[in-house]
Structure 1
Amino acid sequence: MQRLITYVERLLARYDCVVVPSFGAFLKESLAPRYIEEERRVYPGRERFSFNAAIKERDNLLEKEYARSYGISLRRARIMVDNEVVELQNTLFTTSKLSFGQLGSFRVETEGKMLFSPREENSSLLGSGSFYGLTSYPLPTRVEDCLGLYEATSPEEARVLTFNQEEKSNCQSGSKKNANYLYFKVKKSSLSLSAACLLFGFLLLFTPSTGSFHERHYSAGFTKVEHPVAVELKEEKQATDTQEETSARGKSYTTSPSSCESSSCYYVVVACFQTEKKTKEYLDTLTGVPFQSTLGYIPYGSRFAVYAFSSKDKEEAKAFTERLRLEKGAFQNAWLLHEEPKE
C-alpha cells in the first residue's frame, strides 16, 4: 500500500491527474504567487491537491509506471496495482482513517461517506515552493526600508534590502536630491517668455515669403522651339508614310479575267481563305514569284480561292499545274478548278 502512495506522489509531480483504479482520482491545481501585506512577504506559487471519488476509470499511468520500474508486463503491473488498491480500501474502511503520504488524509464518516482532507501547507511537502527550489521573498515598502522600519530577520533578507547607509541618511533627512544630477531653479514667468520667443523664431524662419521681388528673381519662362533636324526628320517620315499608303491603295488584284466572264475557265488554285481580307494579305506576300502577272482570286463558295494562272484551255491550265507540282516548292499542292460562267 505504501508503494502505491509513493507512486501516486511521483506521478503527480508530472501530471495534473492520477487515477487510482476503483478508488478515485487525485487532482493537482497550480496556484499563483501571493503577497501577504501584513508580513511584507511574497510567497512563491504552489500546488493544491484534491480528490474526486467519481473518477475511477483506469488511465494506465500507475500500471505503466509499475511496469517500467520493475521491468514487468503491463498485465502483471495491473494485477499489482489492483491488489494494493484492495489493501488500501480494506485499511481505510477498517480503521475509518488513512494517511495518504504528503497529499493529505482520508476518513470515513458514520454514514460510510469517504472524505479527503488536503495536507496543510508546509515548506517541505510536495507541491510547495521549496519543493521546486523557491522560497519566500521579503518585500517591505520603500518608505519602511528607507526609514529603517523593517528589520531583516535573516542574512538573505538583509541582502534584499537595497538601501545603503548614505541613501538612508538622505531619505531620513528628507533630501530628495541626487548627486548625479544638476538642479536649476526656473521661474514660471521666465519659462513662458522663453516659450514665446521660441515660437516667434519658428514662425519667422518657416513662414513662406511672397512678393514681386522673389518672383522676378526666381521665375523663368520657356519658349517651345523645334530643332531644324527634328523638323526635317518629321517631314521625311510623313512623306514615306504617304508614299506607302498610296502604293498600298493602288495595288489591286484580278478577281476574274475578262476572258472568263462569258465562258468556262480553268484556274490553278494555290490557296483558299475564309475572308477577303486574309486573301489580300496573302497575295501581298507573294512578291517575286514567276506568275506575278497572272495572280488573282475568285469567290469559291463561302471562301476565296487564290489562283496563279487562269485559262480557257484545260490542257494549258493542267500543264501549268503539273509544272508547279514538279517544282516541289510552296505551290506543290496546287489544284485545278473549273468554273462555269455566271448567268
Structure 2
Amino acid sequence: MQLTTYIADLLYRYECVIIPGFGAFLTRYKSAHIDDVSNTFHPPSKIVSFNKQLQANDGLFANYVASVEKCSYETALQKIRIFTAEISKELTEGKTISFKNIGQFSLNAEKSIQFEPLQQQNYSTSAFGLSSFVSPKISREVYQESIDTSEEKAPIIFRPERKEARPYLKYAAVAVIAISAIGFGSLKLYENQVQKFNYAERQKANSLVENQIQEATFVIENPLPVLNLQLPKHMGMYHIVAGAYREEENANKKIEQLREKGYSPYKMDATRYGLHQVLYASFEDRLEALAKLRQIKHSENGDAWLLVQKIQ
C-alpha cells in the first residue's frame, strides 16, 4: 500500500495526520531516557497513537498525495476512499493490517479498532541517526577510612579575667556622647537650610518654565505625509478553500459571490497545476479552522476543504 508510505512521510513533519473516513495518527514527543533494568539508553522520540474519532478531511493528506503522484485533488481523494474501504473490509474479516514503519491494526472482541505502534520507528527529526544502545552498569567500590581515637584530648576551658574599670574612661565616654550630640544638631540645622534653598530654587525654575510655555507657539511647516498601511487579511497556516478554478474569470466570479454573502474572500496565486484557489477565511488555530469548515460544509458548501499552507 503506497499510501502508508505517504502517511509515514507526513508523521516526520506534523503532529496530526488525518486519514479521511478512517481516523488520525497523532505524535507526542518523548525525551531521552534510560531503562534502569536493561541499562539501555534511548534517544528522544515521537510516540505514535491512533484516534478513530478524528475523520474529517483537513486537506493535508489529500494535498500531499496529489503533489507526489501529480494528480488532481479530487483524484487523490478517490484513491484515499478506496484505500480506507479496503482496510475496513479486511478488518471486518478478522485480518490484521500492517502499516509499514507505523504499526498494526486489528479488531478486538467488541469490534473496536486496536492499534499497536511500531516501537523501533522514531519520527523525531531531532534524533535522526541516533539509536538505542546498552551500556554495562558501572560498579564503584566505596572505601571507608577508620580513625582510631586512642587519645582523648582534654577540653580547653577559657575563663575571662575580670578587670576593674578605670574611672577616667567613664568621663571620656561622656565627652564623646556630648560631642556627637552637638555634631548631630549642627548637621540637622544644615540640612534644613539646604532644603529651604532647594525649594526656593525649584519654585523659580517652575515659574520660568510656565512663562516660556505660555509664550511659545508651535508651527509645523512641512507636515508628515499620511501613511497607507495595507495589512494582509488572511493570516495563519489553515485556510478554508471554497474552490479551485482553472479559469481565473470563474475564480473572480466566486469571489464576488462570497462578498455578497458577507465573507472576505481571497484569491491565491495560481498553483503549479494552473488552478486558482479561492479562500473563505484563514485561521491561526487548527481547531478553530476545523470548526468553521464543518459549519460551511453543513450550511452551504459540502465540497469545501482545509488547506494547510503558509501564504506569502
Interval containing the TM-score (normalised by the shorter chain): 0.3 to 0.5
In terms of fraction of residues, the more helix-rich structure is 1
Whichever of the two has the greater Rg, that structure is 1
Structure 1 length normalisation: TM-score? 0.38
User: Higher relative CO (CA 8 A, sep ≥ 6), structure 1 or 2?
Assistant: 2
Structure 2 length normalisation: TM-score? 0.41
